[in-house]
């Protein structure tokens, strides 16, 4: 039974020599567009997903346009990479070409313990396993488990197959399946009843372990600098397995030796041997060990050996990559690509906001995404020639440096001179002509606005993790870990990927509370208003979301009954219990509430006025005093990219003036002095270089301060009297700032950009 790793699928791979390999595609950055060619290993029995496999790896492709593709078809598929609850896939599949019948790959025979990321999406076979439950498979989608006596693994039964509702086999079985992943759990996914059958022990079946870990036929093993490695030959067959000879070949074959030559491995038995390594030079050392045996379909068994010489480092690449470009530029993401370096195996991409990267990687050091290297962070580590850093926000100038290196973990040798460098500025608001024809002075303004932003694309509550979390909210921190910020409290919760709501203790918080909705309950079945991603933010479930419950938002001036970091529950000046989020979220929350009231007002005849205990003037004050920052702009544009509608109160601060949210009627906007100040306040030019000017028509500016996006005051004067304020901004770094100007009538603020 073949346990040959996919590199052995040579005849199939050679047909597509000109195509981007799936292995290469899997090493590209999330969000990058890839084109792969391979054979489809499942059909409509798993719904709209098709697993595609070539001679290097496998990847699922998702899209309703794939419904005509059958198992065994050879296709070329194009689409963006997406992390769907831990499963890397092409989604959506923008286009595909069906080339007709291809050659189905032979399932890779693996032990349960070897099911993991390295063979994700591949067609595999597990032998001599038993189900841990009896009876029948549940109707619809379900998850059961199998065990080999040591390892237990999830088996995903898809309700669209002919498996659900049938009897669960008893006794040992073999299962042919696709390797999937959901959250932190890897799983196997059988395609139909024919994929589950009674186990028949083979006559002779070889398996090779190096230092206790199975290495597939034609796979690789890292010797590193170890003088000796234990080779275990296992035989799961019912007859003795004969090893008839072992040879070591390749570039540095003389560095390696072994006493493994001829042997007889008893049925269901194993024997240990030693691989010796004594390097005769420096740099990368490699060889191939070939084990001749009488297993009918794995003779010979070949393992590629990877090691380093007496300097304990791999050989340095000849050159670094070149031609760094940025084909993907949005307010919420950027994507880079580069031409491969000469004799380079892998790359580390460093990035920094605001100025050039000066950090340099250190030989023999293993870096993970999110680690600091000098003044920069690691955006990507891998063999791909493209990357997508996480944590991009709008209107920022990001700098990058890409270094090539060779060697496995702990033995890296970096090319530290002349890295590929470049910088790109993320986009800002992409309003375009979205509001063309809208007149805020019209009595139909509110209904016109509602009609503009609804209907929109439906995104399920479940998919919030795939969209907002995996593609925007989650950011990198050190040691390859990630973190998410609770928008109410400011907590940064560190976790190990993939993200899981329960494990992390977070939830999707409705800024406009679910119980406020006229359609409450709107979650069974789910309605658009319940799932609207303009309204949903990640929060700590126990310490922020639950305490907020459906309380109105307010400013706590009386008794504080609960505090968690920067949010609290207590009583306002009217002795009403309320919830106060951190300052950075106040304007965001107000705009989300305004959006929901506007978007769904009038739907099914419902009035979406905010509750009487929610002070709309307070929310409008928050809205004016906490203007959209670059995080909110980026988030807004991302939601627009998936829902197809915008939050008008982020795009135009003045729109909120024209709506009475307490009864959802049009307001002619007879503004008070603060609103008049704001509407007459101008800052120019935008963007600016050396000089920035500000004025409030007919009113002197008596004080000012300039705050950057990190909240730091970079310039201020509390004692001026100027009809026109002139700022010398030559010392300001490029980026976005907030100018707060004081007058005898009050304070106003506005954003500006320095190039």
699-714 in b/e burial notation, b at 16+ Cβ within 10 A? bbbbbbbbbbbeeeee
For residue 642, what are the CA distances in angstroms to 491, 533, 534, 635, 646?
27, 9, 11, 11, 10
Percentage of the chain modeled with pLDDT above 70:
96
**How many whole angstroms separate alpha carbon 695 and alpha carbon 219?**
69
Q: What is the mean pLDDT of the chain?
A: 92
11: closest CA among 73, 41, 54?
A: 54
Quote the Cα angle for 698-701-703, to 5°: 170
Chain segment 421-458, per-residue pLDDT in tens: 999 999 999 999 999 999 998 999 999 999 999 999 99
> What residue ranges define each of the domains in the chain, with the CATH number in brackets?
6-101 (2.40.50.200), 108-198 (2.40.50.140), 206-308 (2.60.40.10), 322-425 (2.60.40.10), 445-666 (no CATH), 673-754 (2.60.40.1930)
Helices and strands in the chain, H and E counts? 12, 48
624-640 in b/e burial notation, b at 16+ Cβ within 10 A? bbbbbbbbbbbbbbbbb
Q: What is the pLDDT of residue 675?
A: 63
Percentage of the chain modeled with pLDDT above 90:
80
Report, as an integer, the average pLDDT of 83-110. 92
Q: Quickly state the pLDDT bin for 708 (edges 50, 70, 90).
A: confident
**How many whole angstroms separate alpha carbon 415 and alpha carbon 321?**
10
What's the DSSP call for residue 639?
H
**How many whole angstroms separate alpha carbon 5 and alpha carbon 729?**
60
What's the DSSP call for residue 354?
S
pLDDT reading at 16 higher than 90: no
Q: Quickly state the pLDDT bin for 324 (edges 50, 70, 90).
A: very high
Backbone angles phi and psi of 501, in degrees to 5: -55, -50
How many residues does the structure list for the chain?
Answer: 755
Residue 521: Cβ within 10 Å count: 10
User: Which residue in this structure is represented by tokens 């505090």?
Assistant: 563
728 - beta bridge partners? 691
**How many whole angstroms separate alpha carbon 739 and alpha carbon 274?**
71
If one compares 669 and 56, the residue with the highest pLDDT of the two is 56
Chain segment 143-154, per-residue pLDDT in tens: 999 999 999 999
225-244 in b/e burial notation, b at 16+ Cβ within 10 A? beeebebbbbbbbeeebebe
Q: What is the pLDDT of residue 695?
A: 87
Q: Strands 108-109 and 142-147, how do they pair? A: unpaired
Residue 558: Cβ within 10 Å count: 14
DSSP of 563-574: EETTEEEEE-TT
Q: Tell me how far the alpha carbon of residue 728 is from its chain's centroid.
A: 41
Chain segment 228-246, per-residue pLDDT in tens: 999 999 999 999 999 999 9
213-214: strand order across its sheet: 213-214, 206-210, 228-235, 270-277, 256-258
The overall longest dimension of the chain from CA atoms, in Å, is 99
Residue 339: Cβ within 10 Å count: 12
Q: What is the pLDDT of residue 290?
A: 98
**How many whole angstroms separate alpha carbon 584 and alpha carbon 747?**
18
pLDDT reading at 325 higher than 50: yes
Report, as an integer, the average pLDDT of 215-233. 96
Q: What is the pLDDT of residue 2?
A: 47
**How many whole angstroms separate alpha carbon 609 and alpha carbon 593?**
10
List Cβ neighbours of 46 (8 Å cut-off, separation of 6 or more): 158, 160, 161, 178, 189, 191
pLDDT reading at 680 higher than 80: no
424-462 in b/e burial notation, b at 16+ Cβ within 10 A? bbbbbbbeeeebeebebeeeebbebbbebbbebeebeee
548: closest CA among 514, 594, 517, 502?
A: 514
616, exposed or middle or buried, with CB in 10 Å at 0-12, 13-18, 19+? Answer: buried
Q: What is the pLDDT of residue 653?
A: 86
List the alpha helices (DSSP H) in 344-485.
445-453, 464
Report, as an integer, the average pLDDT of 649-670. 90
610: closest CA among 588, 625, 628, 592?
A: 592
Q: Which of 232-236, 635-639, 748-752 has the lowest mean pLDDT?
A: 748-752
Helix axes 583-600, 630-643, angle to 10 degrees: 30
DSSP of 143-184: EEEEE-SS-EEEEEE-TTSS-TTSBPP-S-EEEEEEEEEETT
Report, as an integer, the average pLDDT of 732-740. 87
Chain segment 536-549, per-residue pLDDT in tens: 999 999 999 999 99
**How many whole angstroms separate alpha carbon 363 and alpha carbon 129?**
44
pLDDT reading at 737 higher than 90: no
Backbone angles phi and psi of 486, in degrees to 5: -75, 115
Report, as an integer, the average pLDDT of 341-367. 97
Q: What is the pLDDT of residue 272?
A: 97
612, exposed or middle or buried, with CB in 10 Å at 0-12, 13-18, 19+? Answer: exposed
Chain segment 508-529, per-residue pLDDT in tens: 999 999 999 999 999 999 999 9
């Amino acid at each position: 039974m073949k346990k040959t790793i996919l590199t052995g699928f040579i005849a199939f791979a050679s047909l597509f020599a000109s195509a981007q390999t799936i292995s290469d595609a899997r090493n590209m950055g999330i969000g990058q567009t890839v084109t792969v060619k391979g054979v489809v290993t499942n059909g409509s029995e798993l719904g709209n997903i098709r697993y595609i496999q070539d001679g290097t790896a496998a990847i699922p492709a998702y899209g309703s346009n794939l419904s005509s593709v059958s198992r065994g078809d050879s296709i070329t598929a194009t689409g963006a990479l997406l992390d769907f609850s831990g499963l890397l896939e092409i989604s959506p599949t923008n286009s595909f070409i069906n080339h007709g019948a291809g050659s189905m790959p032979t399932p890779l025979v693996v032990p349960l313990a070897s099911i993991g990321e390295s063979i994700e999406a591949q067609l595999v076979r597990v032998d001599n396993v038993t189900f841990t439950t009896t009876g029948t498979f549940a109707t619809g989608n379900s998850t059961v488990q199998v065990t080999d006596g040591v390892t237990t693994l999830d088996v995903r039964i898809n309700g669209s197959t002919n498996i659900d509702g049938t009897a669960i086999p008893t006794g040992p079985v073999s299962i042919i399946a696709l390797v999937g992943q959901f959250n932190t759990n890897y799983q196997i996914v059988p395609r139909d009843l024919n994929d589950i059958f009674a186990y028949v022990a083979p006559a002779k079946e070889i398996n090779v372990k190096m230092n206790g870990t199975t290495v597939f036929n034609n796979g690789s093993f890292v010797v590193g600098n170890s003088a000796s490695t234990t080779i275990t030959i296992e035989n799961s067959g019912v007859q003795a397995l004969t090893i008839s000879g072992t040879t070591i070949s390749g570039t540095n074959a003389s560095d390696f030796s072994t006493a493994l030559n001829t042997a007889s491995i008893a049925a269901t038995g194993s024997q240990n041997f030693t691989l010796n390594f004594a390097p005769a030079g420096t740099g990368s050392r490699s060889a191939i060990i070939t084990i001749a045996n009488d297993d009918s379909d794995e003779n010979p068994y070949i393992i590629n050996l990877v090691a380093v010489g007496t300097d304990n480092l791999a050989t340095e690449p000849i050159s670094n990559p070149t031609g760094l470009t940025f084909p993907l530029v949005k307010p919420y993401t950027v994507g880079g690509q580069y031409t491969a370096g000469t004799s380079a195996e892998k790359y580390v991409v460093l990035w920094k906001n605001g100025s050039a990267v000066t950090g340099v990687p250190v030989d023999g050091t293993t870096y993970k995404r999110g680690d600091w290297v000098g003044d920069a962070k690691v955006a990507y580590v891998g063999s791909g020639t493209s990357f997508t850093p996480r944590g991009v926000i709008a209107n920022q100038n990001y700098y990058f440096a890409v270094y090539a290196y060779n060697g496995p973990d702990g033995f890296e040798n970096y090319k530290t001179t002349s890295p590929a460098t470049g910088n790109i500025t993320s986009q800002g608001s992409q309003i375009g002509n979205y509001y063309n024809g809208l007149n805020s002075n019209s009595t139909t303004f509110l209904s016109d606005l509602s009609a503009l932003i609804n209907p929109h694309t439906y995104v399920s509550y479940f998919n919030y993790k795939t969209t907002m979390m995996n593609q925007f909210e989650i950011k990198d921190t050190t040691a390859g870990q990630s973190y998410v910020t609770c928008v109410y409290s400011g907590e940064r919760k560190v976790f190990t990927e993939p993200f899981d709501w329960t494990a992390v203790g977070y939830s999707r918080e409705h800024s406009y509370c679910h119980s406020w909705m006229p359609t409450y309950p709107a979650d069974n079945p789910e309605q658009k208003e319940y799932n609207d991603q303009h309204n949903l933010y990640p929060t700590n479930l126990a310490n922020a979301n639950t305490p907020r419950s459906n309380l109105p938002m307010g400013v706590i001036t009386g008794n504080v009954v609960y505090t968690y970091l920067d949010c609290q529950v207590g009583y306002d000046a009217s002795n009403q219990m309320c919830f106060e989020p951190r300052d950075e979220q106040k304007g965001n929350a107000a705009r989300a509430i305004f959006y929901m009231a506007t978007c769904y007002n009038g739907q099914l005849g419902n009035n979406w006025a905010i509750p009487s205990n929610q002070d709309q003037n307070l929310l409008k004050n928050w809205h004016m005093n906490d203007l959209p920052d670059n995080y909110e702009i980026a988030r807004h544009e991302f939601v627009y990219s998936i829902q197809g509608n915008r939050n008008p109160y982020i795009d135009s601060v003045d729109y909120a003036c024209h709506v009475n949210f307490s009864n959802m009627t049009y307001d002619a906007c007879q503004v008070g002095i603060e609103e008049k100040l704001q509407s007459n306040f101008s800052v120019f030019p935008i963007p600016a270089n050396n000089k920035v000017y500000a004025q409030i028509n007919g009113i002197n500016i008596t004080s000012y301060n300039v705050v950057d996006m990190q909240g730091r005051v970079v310039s201020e004067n509390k004692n001026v009297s100027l009809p026109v304020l002139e700022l010398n901004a030559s010392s300001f770094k490029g980026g976005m700032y907030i100018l707060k100007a004081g007058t005898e009538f009050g304070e106003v603020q506005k954003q500006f950009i320095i190039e």
